[in-house]
């Protein structure tokens, strides 16, 4: 069965990007970052966006989050047009962006300010649940400067999940971490995804990372950013990034990426 046929038989769409284009003005002139990008993400699907630096992956993620507006085209989340940021779409960045003057518990509680209808005890119960989910229950009273880089990203993940968003957007959240910590977090994220079944859109430069985490890998071209190819990763979870089967997927995606590379790649907004 083709990828198009499988997507047609998939669950209802949670996110739809329809002909999204975006330009930026630079000292060298106007740069087309995204060119008529159309992409659908299904309910509970884990989608990874992969492409060379400057292909507009992060720009598209910011548009989905409502942090930027497209010049043309439309984004819908759960059937509603995206016009600004909302608690139904939470973003996790490469840097943890935690508040250093708050401890772990207080940082996760801060994220729950976006969720109405909870009293103080209920907010604390929710925060403790997600802190346990990311494996930091023994560190809930720790200061942020006492945590390792991987632990900080776990706190950031708990804070993003606590308001129970419909979509989790992740912009290279593991890029700054060492290889061993990344591998540990790959396992953690897969476990959490299997338990909570959140819709996730994950941006990465790392093809193996994408094959390890994604149900589907969407390949972007060099600028201007366009969707070039898509790959369904049919491997059981949890996946180990070091397996031969996963390496075969990564090799196939890398070959496709090289086919779409151009001799010159202009400067665009990442």
Reading the block at residue 254, the tokens are: 């890398």
Examine the pLDDT at 239 and tell me if it is beyond 80: yes
Segments making up each domain of the chain, as ranges: 3-88+167-260, 98-164
Examine the pLDDT at 264 and tell me if it is beyond 50: no
Reading the block at residue 204, the tokens are: 């990465």
Within 8 A by CB and 6+ apart from 149, the residues are 96, 176, 177, 178, 181
pLDDT value at position 69?
A: 93
Q: Model confidence at 266, in pLDDT bands (50, 70, 90)?
A: very low
pLDDT value at position 262?
A: 58
Mean pLDDT of the chain: 88
Q: Model confidence at 4, in pLDDT bands (50, 70, 90)?
A: low
Q: How many CA atoms does the CB half-sphere of 195 hold within 13 Å?
A: 12
Mean pLDDT within 121-140: 93
For the chain, the helix, strand and coil percentages under 3-state DSSP, each to the nearest 5: 35, 25, 35
Examine the pLDDT at 104 and tell me if it is beyond 90: yes
Which sign, positive or negative, has the C-alpha torsion 181, 199, 47, 99?
negative
pLDDT tens, 144-183? 999 999 999 999 999 999 999 999 999 999 998 999 999 9
Reading the block at residue 26, the tokens are: 């630079």
pLDDT value at position 253?
A: 95
Element (H, E) at 66: none
pLDDT value at position 225?
A: 86
Domain 3-88+167-260: CATH superfamily is P-loop containing nucleotide triphosphate hydrolases (3.40.50.300)
Reading the block at residue 124, the tokens are: 């604390």
pLDDT value at position 114?
A: 65
pLDDT value at position 11?
A: 55
Q: Model confidence at 12, in pLDDT bands (50, 70, 90)?
A: low
Q: For Cα atoms 259, 53, 171, give the angle at the middle one, nearest 5 degrees.
A: 120
Which sign, positive or negative, has the C-alpha torsion 42, 154, 108, 90?
negative
């Amino acid at each position: 069965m083709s990828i198009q046929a499988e997507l047609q038989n998939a669950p209802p769409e949670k996110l739809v990007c329809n002909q999204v284009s975006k330009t930026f003005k630079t000292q060298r002139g106007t740069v087309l970052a995204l060119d008529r990008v159309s992409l659908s993400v299904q309910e509970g699907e884990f989608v990874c966006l992969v492409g060379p630096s400057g292909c507009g992956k992060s720009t598209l993620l910011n548009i989905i989050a409502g942090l930027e507006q497209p010049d043309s085209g439309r984004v819908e989340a759960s059937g509603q047009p995206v016009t600004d940021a909302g608690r139904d779409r939470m973003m996790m960045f490469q840097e943890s962006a935690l508040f250093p003057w708050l401890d772990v518990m207080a940082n996760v509680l801060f994220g729950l300010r976006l969720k109405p209808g909870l009293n103080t005890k209920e907010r604390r119960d929710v925060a403790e649940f997600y802190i346990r989910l990311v494996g930091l229950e023994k560190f809930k009273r720790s200061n942020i400067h006492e945590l390792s880089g991987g632990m900080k990203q776990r706190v950031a993940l708990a804070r993003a999940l606590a308001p129970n968003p419909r979509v989790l957007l992740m912009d290279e959240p593991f890029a700054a971490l060492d290889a061993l910590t990344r591998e540990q977090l790959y396992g953690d994220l897969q476990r959490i995804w299997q338990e909570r079944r959140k819709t996730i859109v994950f941006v990465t430069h790392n093809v193996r990372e994408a094959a390890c985490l994604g149900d589907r890998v969407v390949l972007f071209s060099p600028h201007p950013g366009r969707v070039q190819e898509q790959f369904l990763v049919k491997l059981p979870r949890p996946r180990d990034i070091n397996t031969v089967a996963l390496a075969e997927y990564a090799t196939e995606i890398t070959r496709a990426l090289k086919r779409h590379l151009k001799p010159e790649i202009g400067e665009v907004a990442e």
